[in-house]
Structure 1
């Protein structure tokens, strides 16, 4: 019986062996869903030893379907190391979200693929601390070391500089499949036929016959093989851009005190002070 607080589960699939036509081979699938070690990772029955024993209970290639908002970075680090040390080929498929600690696990794949509608997010590690200034300084130093260890995983996969990766983490960066492939966090986009092993519905062959001219425009022909557009979102950049727009608007629309009676008419809103006070009193009733 599975433990109630396990955040992973296994499945076995029978696949045709391309090397031996007519024969089947077995491939295991690991599903990592939800928070990584939401309750505990060391102090209860859901332990690193249990995960390792299940991982090594069989051989062969494995596919990992990953959909997680993150969680315990130390648990993610151990899972990363176990997958990297596994003898068979590990393919990571992100079908929803690989955020925070889950993005570290994603870097363990020999091949990393993302669904066209999935997202990957990286940011700085965080913790809760209390105590004296010495205790606060220890927490800061610990977070710096944790960040460096996470950068190691990202750099091994992407080849990007540590400064570039550190800046992306500082800005809490969100990437769609296209951007993740562009920055080498992922190797490709999951094709429709491989999503959960489903085959696409039969569709009519719209390819023009050899004796029929292809009258489509150049843009229509090029759209047959369109790569997902890349998108990178930083919460801090978005906030900074919004603040800049607000400041620019205030500077452009700031009202100066009228110099004479003629100018005063331009700034007259037509509302009396009593009317404004009534509207403010009305608003207070709903606050």
Structure 2
């Protein structure tokens, strides 16, 4: 059984709350029927609107995709609240919110997908093609939420872009800032690119170990989907 990275808080008479904390699946969901099924069973127990709190540096793109799909398919309202960080795959999950709110001190990060590939030049070319397709699928979620052009989204992902709450709202990745009085003047929107974020900040927000899904698993997964 893989580490459970989610938790439900259920209080009678109140909306159910889903907490997504830490890495989204420290191992790939590929070939795992138990973990996604367990998440779906727990989600199906909900009645009425739900709230999803996110504080995650990202993780497995397929896990994020399935959670995104389950939340998008949920028949009632889904309010996403970004507590501190919604980076990489976690930002994809956030796009499933009927309404997305960010803490005034939270950050969101989007970037290009990564994987691990071993082999000759042909294998490397296959890896590049695979990552390009994964990127296109991720952009679909961003495009639906923001209405932004795919060219601009692609450029933001290429630059590994970091948004504070105001910038995320400005670009359409979020709808509102938590705890903010609507009459209160919003702070200046800011966006941090890869060049603007120091190594010190990255080391605090993202685990040092960068893992990816092996190219063979990615190719097998997409082949299964195609058939």
**Same structural fold, with TM-score higher than 0.5 when normalized by the shorter chain:** yes
Change (3 A) 1:136 1:63: same
Deviations 1:187-227 (A, max 9, x none): 0001179xxxxxxxxxxxxxxxxxxxxxxxxxxxxxx7121
Query: TM-score, with normalisation over the residues of structure 2?
Result: 0.82
The correspondence for 2:186, drawn from 194, 217, 227, is 227
Task: Supply the distance in 1 between the matched residues of 2:46 and 2:73 (Cα, whole angstroms).
Answer: 14
Indicate how the Cα distance of structure 1 residues 226 and 5 shifts in structure 2: closer, same or farther if over 3 A, else same: same
Judge conservation of contact 1:172–1:236 (CA < 8 Å) in 2.
Answer: no
2:1 is the alignment partner of 1:13: no
Aligned partners of 1:103, 1:179: CA distance in 2, in Å?
14
Q: CA deviation at 1:43?
A: 4.7
Structure number, greater radius of gyration: 1
C-alpha distance in structure 2 between counterparts of 1:169 and 1:185, whole Å: 13
CA distances 1:91-127 after superposition (whole Å, capped 9, x unpaired): 0000100000000000000000000000000000011
What's the CA shift string for 1:57-101, capped at 9, x where partnerless? 232110000000000011100100000000111000001000000
Q: Which runs of 4+ in 1 moved over 2 A?
A: 39-46, 236-239
1:1-287 to structure 2, matched below 5 A, reads 5-14=3-12, 25-43=13-31, 47-191=35-179, 225-236=184-195
The answer (yes or no) to whether the contact 1:26–1:60 under 8 Å persists in 2 is no
Please, what TM-score do these two structures have when normalized by structure 1? 0.65
Contact 1:116-1:228 at 8 Å conserved across structures:
no
Displacement of 1:42 in angstroms is: 4.1
CA-based RMSD of the aligned residues comes to: 2.0
1:29 aligned counterpart, secondary structure? strand
Q: CA deviation at 1:177?
A: 0.2
Q: Which has the higher contact order (CA 8 A, sep 6+)?
A: 2
- The runs of 5 or more residues in structure 2 that have no matched partner are 199-227
For 2:137 and 2:159, the matched residues in 1 are separated by 18
Q: Give the Cα–Cα distance (whole angstroms) in 2 for the partners of residues 122 and 63 of structure 1.
A: 22
Using a 3 Å threshold, how does the CA distance of structure 1 residues 238 and 109 change in structure 2: closer, same or farther?
closer
The answer on whether the counterparts of 1:171 and 1:237 sit within 8 Å (CA) in structure 2 is: no
